[in-house]
Amino acid sequence: MNSKKWNTVATGILYFIAGVMILILAFLLIFILWNGLPHVSWHFLTTPARSFQTGGGIGIQLFNSFYLLFLAMLISIPISIGAGIYLSEYAKQNWLTSLIRTSIDILSSLPSIVVGLFGFLVFSIQAGLGFSILSGALALTVFNLPLLTRNVEESLNSISESQREAGLALGLSKWETVLRIIIPEALPGIVTGMILGAGRVFGEAAALIYTAGQSAPALDFTNWNPFYIASPLNPLRPAETLAVHIWKINSEGIMPDAAQVSAGASAVLIIAVLIFNFGARFISARVYGKMTGTK
């Protein structure tokens, strides 16, 4: 065979592999949505779960998932941006910073159940936070921080060195250059990473089972005082999230419609994660246009 034929064969194989991947993905998506969407209704999305009867919803779990996500991102975004800027712009190449980078890489590959047990020991027990949203948010921070930090660092690294030189040569200080030239140019990448990280956190279950807990006590949506025990905003109450709920009803659910609830909740989870992913693309394109003046 000549090289032209080989090229055709190789291209064909690559297309085949890509096609298999897309098929598997499409099958999973369609399967989950097909089974779950018929059970999703406004009633399903807003009512509390029921343990023994049919007709329970996922209202509280859905709220918990978003609130937990919000708190986790509130803690991890500033830290990851600070750490990423340090690693990319200020850290010198020496054994200490390479140790930091290696630690971050190891942390980012920790299984989430290990992060969950660590969070249980440190936040729930040692720090006395118990099964609470705060414990869960801290565990998710441990889970998410390494990836977010690396994302910020790599987004900043992808900006050409000549941009830094341009800023410095105009008499700007290093910090001004980083803050006003490098970060704005890296922002689309940073935002994308943050949103994808949010999607990952949203679907996380194992890290939360022993930290945020597996129970969703009834919430009083009329009282938003964070110190009131049944307040939705109380960060010290236990909070089962959507992903944990799916895991729980599949392992020990005794309501008659457990299968339907699980399917519906899975569909909602998948849709939320999809929204995060498409949102990431959309927002990052908007940010890029805004930052570069191309739109």
Partner 1 sequence: MQNYSADDKFIRELDPKDHEISISTEDLHVFYGDSEAIHGVSLPFERFKITALIGASGSGKSTYLRSLNRMNDNIDGTRVTGKIMYRDLDINSQNINVYEMRKHIGMVFQRPNPFSKSIYDNITFAPKRNGVHGKETLDELVETTLKQAALWDQVKDGLGQSALSLSGGQQQRLCIARAIAMKPDILLLDEPASALDPISTSTVEDTLLALKDRYTIIIVTHNMQQAARISDYTAFFHLGNVLEFDETSNVFQRPKITATEDYVSGRFG
Could you say which of 171, 222, 252, 254 contacts partner 1 (CB under 8 A)? 171
Pick the closer one to partner 1 by CB: 184 or 203. Answer: 184
Query: Judged by CB under 8 A, does residue 185 bind partner 1?
Result: yes
Q: Which one among 3, 51, 93, 109 touches partner 1, defined by CB under 8 A? A: 93
> Exposed e or buried b for every residue in 72-110, given b needs 16+ CB within 10 A?
bbebbbeebbebbbebbbebeeeeeeeeeeeebeebeee
Whether residue 97 contacts residue 91, with contact meaning beta carbons closer than 8 Å, is answered with: yes
Whether 61 contacts 238, CB under 8 Å: no
DSSP string, 134-203: HHHHHHHHHHHHHHHHHHHHHHHHTS-HHHHHHHHHTT--HHHHIIIIIHHHHHHHHHHHHHHHHHHHHT
Q: Which of 43, 180, 281, 286 binds partner 1 (CB under 8 A)?
A: 180
Among the listed ranges 78-86, 162-170, 198-206, 257-265, the one in contact with partner 1 (CB under 8 A) is 162-170
Using rule CB under 8 A, residue 89 touches partner 1: no
Nearer to partner 1, 105 or 176 (CB): 176
* Least Å from the CB of residue 290 to partner 1: 11
- Does residue 181 interact with partner 1 by CB under 8 A? yes
169 touches partner 1 by CB under 8 A: yes
User: Using alpha carbons only, how large is the chain's radius of gyration in Å?
Assistant: 23
CB 37, min distance to partner 1, A: 42
Contacts of 13 (CB under 8 A, 6+ apart): none
Choose between 43 and 290: whose C-beta lies nearer to partner 1: 290
Does 95 help bind partner 1 (rule: CB under 8 A)? no
CA dist., res. 244 & res. 106, Å (int): 25
98 binds partner 1 (CB under 8 A): no
Position among 8, 15, 21, 165 found at the interface with partner 1 (CB under 8 A):
165
Out of 75, 122, 168, 230, which residue is the one contacting partner 1 (CB under 8 A)? 168
Query: Distance between CA 66 and CA 216 in Å, rounded?
Result: 14
The answer to whether residue 293 forms part of the interface with partner 1 (CB under 8 A) is yes
> Is the Cα dihedral 18, 22, 28, 29 positive or negative?
positive
Which residues are at the interface with partner 1 (CB under 8 A)?
92-93, 160, 162-173, 176, 180-181, 185, 291-294
